[in-house]
Structure 1
């Protein structure tokens, strides 16, 4: 429900488990998902980080083995737009969910729909997005076959066509709340 109802908001792919895998490098755990990450969204709603195309082969975030012919894609400061997309007390919700303005401490929502999803960001959120998307698209097209072979043969994952994702933007916050609901009639 969460993914299906919030993906249409146009802010990327909503993750039910937004934090990184705790077995990854401590620096990656601190920074979280970033532009250039390649991975798969798991059935449980987390991002399975595989490697990053914007850092060198020997960067601590990247695993020892990388796709054949791996060369990093240079990410320059002018390639990225950074902004504060969501101010304090922001939220994203499915279209049927409405915020009640009389809530003084926290959020109060209501809906008459049979299902809905909400992401709250009490302290707001920062965003980064690739400005030079054509550069990333060209790099991905040139390397996709190597990525799939690596993911299948080296990493042992079994992605379907279209499952492998290249991160070209993110929204991050330090505090959030998530909720879904589904009403059934008897």
Structure 2
């Protein structure tokens, strides 16, 4: 199993959304290279663990964010600032770790099998799992959580009404996606530092981040 799949499967049970192995902004659009995934994006998780956005339902048809085009019957769902909550959800130097693990802190000068990752002033963390799989997300700078807290039903109605057209659009654009693999973003967790870790070993260290994706199309 690929590292990205192990990472996602191990951290999904923590109920913070879909953990992305490659969370950094990418693509040809300057908007996404600077801001990354945002509420209203419709897209899918790539095989290597990134998120490919196809279009955004918050933006109008001719907006640069929808430069690829939009599906047939597209309807914009605008949101106001008061419709979105933005809180500092994860504290600095906090971690999200898969279940059945032990952890210990030690000074950065202590010896270890692998080079240590500093998680604070002169400190490092070691995570050990009782099973053969594990994943850890450490957030040195913490992370902000951005969610819809109003008009959620608007998004749900759009997904139910236009899901088939969204899939047809993806296939027409040449994306090979299966049924049940399309996502509508209703929230995300963002930070400025990451290095996800998830592999078939008993001890894993690292820094990371993940984005919250709520599946509205199944």
Aligned-pair CA distance for 1:168: 0.5
Equivalent residue for 2:37?
A: 33
- Correspondence list, 1:1-186, <5 A: 1-23=6-28, 25-103=29-107, 104-132=122-150, 133-153=152-172, 155-183=173-201
The whole-number CA distance in structure 2 between the counterparts of 1:122 and 1:115 is: 23
The whole-number CA distance in structure 1 between the counterparts of 2:68 and 2:136 is: 38
The whole-number CA distance in structure 2 between the counterparts of 1:45 and 1:111 is: 23
Q: Look up the SS of the partner of 1:9 in the other structure.
A: coil
TM-score (norm 1): 0.90
Kindly tell me: are residues 177 and 21 of structure 1, through their superposed partners in 2, closer, same or farther at Cα, counting changes over 3 Å? closer
The whole-number CA distance in structure 1 between the counterparts of 2:32 and 2:196 is: 23
2:106–2:125 CA contact under 8 A, matched in 1 = no
2:44–2:51 CA contact under 8 A, matched in 1 = yes
The whole-number CA distance in structure 2 between the counterparts of 1:18 and 1:151 is: 21
Aligned-pair CA distance for 1:64: 4.1
1:15–1:47 CA contact under 8 A, matched in 2 = yes
Aligned-pair CA distance for 1:112: 2.6
- Deviation string, structure 1 residues 58-93 (Cα, Å, up to 9, x no partner): 221112421012121011222212111101001111
Q: Look up the SS of the partner of 2:196 in the other structure.
A: strand
Q: Please identify runs of 4+ aligned residues in structure 1 that moved more than 6 A.
A: none
1:39–1:164 CA contact under 8 A, matched in 2 = yes
RMSD: 1.7
TM-score (norm 2): 0.78
